[in-house]
Amino acid sequence: MVNQKLVGFEVKRIRADFPILDRETQPGIPVIYLDSTASSQKPIAVIEAMNVFYRRSNANIHRGVHTLAEEATALYEEAREKIAKFINAPAAKQLIYTRNTTESINLVAHTWARANLKSGDMVILTEMEHHSNLVPWQMLKSERGIRLEFITVTEEGLLDLDSYRSLLDQNPKLVSFTHMSNVLGTINPAEEIIRLAHEHGAVTLVDGAQSVPHFGVDVQKLDVDFLAFSAHKMVGPTGIGILYGKQDLLENMPPFLGGGDMIKSVHLQEFVANELPYKFEAGTPAIAEAVGFGAAVDYLTSVGMDAIAAHEHEITEYALERLEEVPGLNVFGPNSQDKGGVAAFTFDDLHPHDIAQILDRDGIAVRAGHHCAQPLHEKFGVRATTRASFYLYNTKEEVDKLIEGLYKVKEVFN
C-alpha cells in the first residue's frame, strides 16, 4: 500500500515541465498520455542535461586525461552515485549500468545463475511476470535443465502466499519476481517474499521496472539480493538501466560481456577482470543517457517519491471508480489499496487494438495487447487487454476524457 497523504503536489506545475504534453496530435486535440507503464515522458531538465553534455563535455570515459574526458567521466559516475542514493544502496559500485531491466535480468541469468545453478535446481517465479523475467529462465531451463515453479495468482490479482510457502519447502535456489505487475498493477509484498526466501537459503531478484519509478524503493530495507530497473520508465532516457546487487554476489560472478573497460589487464591467452562495477560494463557505455538518468533521479527527488505515489494513488482510485461506470468493461487486478497506477481492461468483445485506435482519434494514448505478459493473460482467459497507466503528470480531467472516449468506442461499434 502507498502513502495516501498528498501535500503540496501541483500537477499543473509538474505538467509544465514536460514539453510533449503541450503537443496536439491533431489540430485542437491535445495529447493525453496514458501509457507511462510502457515508457514515461521526459521533463525539460532531463532533455537539457543530455543536450548540455553533448554540447560541452562529450568524450569517452575512464580512458582519457584531457578536460572533456575527465568531465564526461565525472558526470557518468556522479549519475551512478545519485541513483545509488535514490535506492539507498550501500555503495555506488554495487550498481551496474545496463541497457534496460531486461538486460539486467539477463545479466543475472548469464552470470550468477550459470555459475550457481545445475540440473534440477529450482527457480521460483510468479504467474504475473513480464516476459523479461520468464524467457531468460526458460532459456536456462533448456540449457541446464533447471526447474521452474510459479507462485499462483488469485482471481483478485494477488499472489497466493500459501502456494509460495509450499514451494519454499522444496529448497529453491532463486526467487525472482516483479515488485509491481505491469498488467494488474498489483504491488507485491516484496519485503515478506524476500524474507521468506532468505529463511530458506534462496537468492532473490526483484524486477523493479514498475516500482522504482512510482514509489520509494529501499534496497537495504528490502534486503534484496538483485534489483533491476530502467531509466525510461522513470522520466529518464531510453537505452539505459541498472542492476543493483549485493557486493559479495557481484564480486563472485563472472563477467557478462568481454571487451574494453571490463578488464584490468589483457594478454594473448588470458585476461584479468576489472573491479566492480566496471567488470560488467564492457565497451563504450551510454554516457549521455547516464547523465540523463542522473537528471531524472534529481527531478523525481525534487518532486518527492511519497508525493508522486500519493498523487498516483488518487488518480488510480478515481480512474477505477469511473471505469466501473462503463457498461461491459472489466478491469483486471486488485482494488486501489493494493494497486499501482495501472488499469488493464476488456470492453465487451471488442479487440483492444480497435479500442486504442479509436481513443487515439481524441489524442488518448493507451496500450493494447498482452503487454509482454502473455501467460498472465492466458491465466485470465483473454488474449489481450487495453491498458491505461498513470504517472505524476496525469490528471482526473484526463481520466474523464478516457471515459468519454470509451463511450465513443461503444457508439462506433454499436
Residues with a catalytic annotation lie at: 372
CB 234 within 8 A of CB 212: yes
User: What's the rounded Cα separation, in Å, for the pair 382 and 388?
Assistant: 17
CB 177 within 8 A of CB 126: yes
User: What's the rounded Cα separation, in Å, for the pair 170 and 221?
Assistant: 26
CB 59 within 8 A of CB 204: no
Taking the chain, what is the end-to-end CA distance rounded to the nearest angstrom? Answer: 39
Angle, CA 211 vertex, CA 114 and CA 366 arms, to 5°: 110
User: What's the rounded Cα separation, in Å, for the pair 71 and 64?
Assistant: 10
Cis omega before residue 255 (within 30°)?
A: no
Whose cell is 487486478? That residue is 333
Supply 89's cell numbers. Answer: 544502496
User: What's the rounded Cα separation, in Å, for the pair 412 and 355?
Assistant: 10
